[in-house]
Amino acid sequence: MTAALEIAGLSVAYGGAVQALSGATLTVPEDGFVVLLGANGAGKSTMLKAISGLLPFENGAVTAGSVRFFGEDIAGIPSHRLARKGMLHVREGRCVFPNMSVEDNLSTATFALDGRTPRKTRGFDDIYAYFPQLAARRGTAAGYLSGGEQQMLAIGRALVGDPRLLLVDEASLGLAPLIAREIFDILGRINQDRRLAILVVEQNVALALRHAAYGYILENGVISLEGKAETLMDREAISSRYLGGGHAAVAAH
């Protein structure tokens, strides 16, 4: 069975100088729920941008390695074409369109369906079913939503594009604990219902590992630890890693 995403030996540099990722290898199975953990500046967002083709916007480039999306090598494919292949990226900071209504925000993703799925322009009932709060506010400008609602909108918008792989950067950053849990619950349900492959970047280790099946830890641009969520839950292994302490053994698959 081909994986949704297979990254091998991926290195990324910004401006030809700042090395942000070095030889990272990571796999997301076809209906897997994988979490990428790591401290600030570890290179998590860089990895997602490299996958979804957004690096050129920030003067970054892949310098080595490969990214395969359902078996296809996607090196050099621009981000809008990747989105149309079903690679949808919920960016750090949500990036909703603040002056546009919730409904219009959702509509912007319908273009990602071009050439794959018949396009719909009205009625996002399936999306609102996951996020009832948004349904009540469909005419409101996104800028007036709370942080949690904006994150729901950003995820909902990505779902409108009918993803085959969903990338979520900083799923719970800046959200109240209860809202953060709700977001992860919903991601878990989406993963189950739609058999949708999800790769989520998160800093709340405990929360993420309770929902994801598998995890990777990124440190200074290098994958330093990976394993099943239960294994990684072993707090000591992780916290020692985070504090830059001893070299815990890499957990086996």
Partner 1 sequence: MDAFLVALLNGLVYGLLVFMVSAGLTLVFGMMGVLNFAHASFYMLGAYAAFLSGRYIGFWGGLIVATLAVGLVGLFSERLLLRKVRSFGHTQELLLTYGLFFVLEELVKLLFGPTPVAYRVPDELRFTAFTIGNSQFPFFRLLMGATALLMFFGTYAALRFTRIGLIVRAAVERPQMVSALGHNVPIVFSGLFAVGSALAGLAGAVAGMYYPTSPAMAHELGSIVFVVVVIGGLGSLNGALAASLLIGVMTSFAVGVESTFGDLFRALGLGGLALPGLEAVQFSSIAGVLPYALMLLVLLWRPAGFAGNRA
Binding site for partner 1 (CB under 8 A): 52, 54, 57, 59, 78-80, 83-84, 88-89, 91, 95, 97-100, 104-105, 107-109, 111-114, 121, 143, 157, 161
| CB of 11 vs ligand ADP, minimal distance in Å | 12
| CB of 243 vs Mg ion, minimal distance in Å | 20
Could you say whether residue 172 binds Mg ion (CB under 5 A)?
no
Question: Which residue in the set 1, 40, 243, 249 belongs to the binding site for ligand ADP (CB under 6 A)?
Answer: 40
Can you tell me the distance from the alpha carbon of 250 to that of 235, in angstroms, rounded to the nearest whole number? 14
Can you tell me the distance from the alpha carbon of 230 to that of 237, in angstroms, rounded to the nearest whole number? 12
Residue (157 or 241) nearer to partner 1, CB: 157
Could you say whether residue 242 binds ligand ADP (CB under 6 A)?
no
Which 6-35 residues touch Mg ion, going by CB under 5 A?
Answer: none
What is the Rg, in whole angstroms, of the alpha carbon atoms belonging to the chain? 18
Residue (9 or 56) nearer to ligand ADP, CB: 56
Could you say whether residue 46 binds Mg ion (CB under 5 A)?
no
Q: Which does 43 bind (CB under 5 to 8 A by kind): partner 1, ligand ADP, Mg ion, none?
A: ligand ADP
Residue (102 or 201) nearer to ligand ADP, CB: 201
Could you say whether residue 171 binds ligand ADP (CB under 6 A)?
no
* Longest distance between any two alpha carbons in the chain, whole Å: 55
| CB of 167 vs ligand ADP, minimal distance in Å | 12
SS (H, E, C) the chain: CCCCEEEEEEEEEECCCEEEEEEEEEEECCCCEEEEEECCCCCHHHHHHHHHCCHHHHCEEEEEEEEEECCEECCCCCHHHHHHCCEEEECCCCCCCCCCEHHHHHHHHHHHHCCCCCCCCCCCHHHHHHCHHHHCCCCCEHHHCCHHHHHHHHHHHHHHCCCCEEEECCCCCCCCHHHHHHHHHHHHHHHHHCCCEEEEEECCHHHHHHHCCEEEEEECCEEEEEEEHHHHHCHHHHHHHHCCCCCCCCCCC
- Residue 124 is which amino acid? F
Q: Which does 46 bind (CB under 5 to 8 A by kind): ligand ADP, Mg ion, partner 1, none?
A: ligand ADP
* Number of residues in contact with Mg ion under rule CB under 5 A: 2
Q: Which does 209 bind (CB under 5 to 8 A by kind): Mg ion, ligand ADP, partner 1, none?
A: none
| CB of 150 vs ligand ADP, minimal distance in Å | 19
Paired sense of beta strands 165-168 and 87-90, if any: parallel
Question: Which residue in the set 24, 26, 35, 45 belongs to the binding site for ligand ADP (CB under 6 A)?
Answer: 45
Binding residues for ligand ADP (CB under 6 A):
14, 18, 20, 38, 40-46, 58
